[in-house]
Amino acid sequence: MTELLQKVRVIDPVSKIDELFDVLIADGYIQEVASHITDISPDTPIRDCRGLVIGPGLVDLYSHSGEPGFEERETLLSLLQSATAGGFTRISILPNTSPAIDNPALVAQLQQKKAEGQRSMAGTHNAGRGGRGAEENLSPLLPCSPAPLLHIWGAITLDVAGKQMTELADLASAGVVGFSDGKPLENLALVRRVLEYVQPLGKPVAFWPSDRQLAANGVMREGPDALRFGLPPIPASAETTAIAAMLELVATIGTPVHIMRVSTSRSVELIASAKAAGLPITASTTWMHLLLDTKAIKSYNTSLHLEPPLGNPSDVAALRAGVRAGVIDAIVIDHTPYSYEEKVQAFAEAPPGAIGLELALPLLWQYLVETEEFTALELWRALSISPAECLGQKVSAILPHQPAELTLFDPQQTWKVERKSLYTLSQNTPWLGQQMKGHVVQTWR
């Protein structure tokens, strides 16, 4: 299929372009990018894209699937639909499912389910959101948008229990994208062995550094707001001491490591120093840690109970500066669906996590780009090419003869965050019931 997008704002962090162009797409490839394209066949569809933004497809480094084990929270199909609606063309799921993704047989099973979900999406672009039927649907699934590529993280330890290492080589042969438990590993001797074993496999390994003993029963970041709201605090040192230990092991072993869920200002300093010293590390923070701080918890909305917890205002400022400077490589979604019943509890008792695949780009654009704190290129880089690079992958530039893996976004379109306007099966977000500005129009892959 051939299509001409006229006067679209091209944001390409690969070639560092942010300009208005016409873009001609045909048969899965970009055919031409120019100020004005006129040499097209008479039957080529033309789309007026004034006011719209196009950039490389978004890449999510890690999120959670309810399937297998908790399909009432999220199925692979609803996860793929939610990712597409959010502009993601690649998504990677963590292994802490039930059962955990700790053996090649389960990897093969999920790859089969993934293929079924992708075929289902290809045949049901006009199905209702969340599989609930067209009568409840505000807008159909993005027209002609394919399912995103779904990558699978293999568990580092059996049943992600942090005790016995999995058969990493077998998981690598089964096609996992990399290794992570998605949970803190307290046993540093085990972490050291993992770094030694994984080195020849050529796969990324991601750790969430957190000292559970220091965190204890805390549920929000230590500081004035924790005292004010009467919630058990988690000191920043629960994260920073674990990061410091991880960096020492990386310096000793030399295996490249990705540091997940960075949430404190001191962590940004430690990572910056380590990178300056040449350590082979990358790092990520979640989109909600860039937008909200501890003051938001005054509502006691359980969707603000996150792991790690939201930071103090100084942490948010440092994280934003870290992303802009490239110290923090990637913005991740860490989409964590829970049912209504699971989240309707006291703040400290509710399971931590929130959804975000369909909300992240609109909110980040509105509060970081439109306020001119970030440039569009800085935001798009952290959501596309940088997370891909953390996985050892590449994203193509928006240039002639390159694959058309793209996201078309309308920064001004408004919609309401509610059950019938979301593809995810869960609604655990503090923005539920609110008006949103910014909506993905289409993806190509």
Q: Please tell me what DSSP assigns to residue 368.
A: I
Q: What percent of the chain has pLDDT over 70?
A: 95
Q: What is the pLDDT of residue 118?
A: 80
Average pLDDT in the chain: 94
Q: Please tell me what DSSP assigns to residue 352.
A: P
Please enumerate in sequence order all residues whose Cβ is within 8 A of that of 173, keeping only pairs 6 or more positions apart, or say none.
104
Q: Is the pLDDT of residue 136 over 90?
A: no
Q: Looking at 181, 329, 334, 410, which residue is catalytic? A: 334
Strand, coil or helix: what is 223? coil
User: How large is the average pLDDT for residues 30-59?
Assistant: 96
Min mean pLDDT across 44-48, 125-129, 235-239 is at 125-129
pLDDT band at 173 (very low <50, low <70, confident <90, very high): very high
Q: Which residues pair with 165 in a beta bridge?
A: 157
Q: What is the pLDDT of residue 135?
A: 31
User: Where do the structural domains in the chain lie, given as residue ranges?
Assistant: 57-396
Each residue's pLDDT tens digit, 110-123: 999 888 888 888 76
Superfamily the domain 57-396 falls into: Metal-dependent hydrolases (3.20.20.140)
Decide: 317 and 249 in contact? Cβ < 8 Å: no
Q: Is the pLDDT of residue 46 over 70?
A: yes
Strand, coil or helix: what is 101? coil
Give which of 59, 86, 63, 85 is closest to 74, Cα–Cα.
63
pLDDT band at 142 (very low <50, low <70, confident <90, very high): low
Q: What is the pLDDT of residue 62?
A: 98
Q: What is the pLDDT of residue 141?
A: 54
Each residue's pLDDT tens digit, 193-203: 999 999 999 99
Each residue's pLDDT tens digit, 262-312: 999 999 999 999 999 999 999 999 999 999 999 999 999 999 999 999 999
Q: What is the pLDDT of residue 133?
A: 36
Place of tokens 């049912």: 339
Q: Is 170 a catalytic residue?
A: no
